[in-house]
Homo-oligomer: A and B are copies of this chain.
Amino acid sequence: MIETDTIAAPATPRGKSALAALRISGPAAFQITARCIQEKILFEKTPARYIQLFIAKDPITEKTIDQITAVKYSSPRSFTGEDMVEFFCHGGPFIVNEIHHALITAGARLAKKGEFTRRALLNRKIDLMKAEAIRGLIECNSEAEFLCAQKLYYSGNFASKIRNMREGLIEQLAKIENFIEFEEEQGGIKARQDDKEGIVSILKQIEADLTKREKIKTIEKGLRIVIAGPTNAGKSTLFNTIVGYNRAIVHSKPGTTRDTISETVLIKGHEVLLIDSAGIRDGTDDIEREGVVRSKEEIEKAHILIWVTAADRPFEEEELKELMNFKHKNTIYLINKIDKSEGKEKHFYLDTKKIKAIGISLKNHINNEQLMDEIGKRVEQINKDIEVPDLLLNARYDEIGRSLYNEIKLTIEHWDRAEVAANYLKSGITKIDEWLGKTNTEDIINKIFDGFCIGK
Binding site for B on A (CB under 8 A): 9-21, 23, 49-52, 64, 66-67, 71, 86, 88, 90-98, 100-101, 104, 110, 116, 134, 137-140, 143, 146, 150, 153-154, 248-255, 266, 269, 271, 453-456
Q: How far is the CA of A346 from the CA of B117 in the complex (A)?
A: 55
User: Whole-angstrom distance between the alpha carbons of A386 and B49 in the complex?
Assistant: 41
Contact A251 B64 (CB under 8 A): no
Q: Quick check: A271 and B97 within 8 Å, CB to CB?
A: yes
Q: How far is the CA of A17 from the CA of B135 in the complex (A)?
A: 10
Report the nearest B residue to A271, measured CB to CB. Answer: B97
CB-based contact A252/B51 at 8 Å: no
Known A13-B13, A249-B104, A252-B454; judge A21-B19 contact (CB<8 A). Answer: yes
Shortest Cβ distance from A89 into chain B, in angstroms? 9
Q: How far is the CA of A10 from the CA of B287 in the complex (A)?
A: 39
Q: CB-nearest residue of chain B relative to A269? A: B101
Chain B residues with CB under 8 A of A17: 10-13, 138, 453, 455-456
Give the residues in chain B near A94, CB-CB below 8 Å: 140, 143, 146, 271
Contact A15:B15 (CB < 8 A) given known A250-B93, A250-B97: yes
Closest Cβ neighbor of A58 among chain B residues? B269
Report B-chain residues with C-beta under 8 Å of the C-beta of A86. 19
Q: Which of B11, B95, B269 contacts A146 (CB 8 A)?
A: B95
Of chain B, the residue at the smallest CB distance from A247 is B110
Q: Are B134 and A90 in contact (CB under 8 A)?
A: yes
How far, in whole Å, are A90 and B95 apart by their CA atoms in the complex? 22
Complex: how many Å from CA A93 to CA B116?
20
The 20 listed contacts between A and B (C-beta, < 8 Å) are A11-B17, A12-B17, A12-B19, A13-B16, A13-B91, A13-B251, A14-B250, A14-B251, A14-B252, A16-B138, A17-B453, A18-B21, A18-B23, A18-B138, A91-B456, A97-B250, A100-B249, A104-B249, A251-B455, A252-B454
Give the residues in chain B near A248, CB-CB below 8 Å: 97
How far is B251's CA from A456's CA once the two chains are assembled, in angstroms? Answer: 12
**With the chains together, A146 CA to B86 CA distance in Å?**
23
Contact of A249 among B97, B137, B252 (CB under 8 A): B97
Interchain CA distance A17-B15 in the complex, whole Å: 12
| CA of A253 to CA of B138, assembled, Å | 16
Known: A94-B140, A254-B254. 16 other contacts (CB 8 A): A9-B251, A12-B21, A14-B253, A15-B15, A15-B254, A17-B455, A18-B116, A18-B455, A19-B23, A50-B51, A92-B137, A92-B140, A94-B146, A95-B137, A97-B248, A97-B271
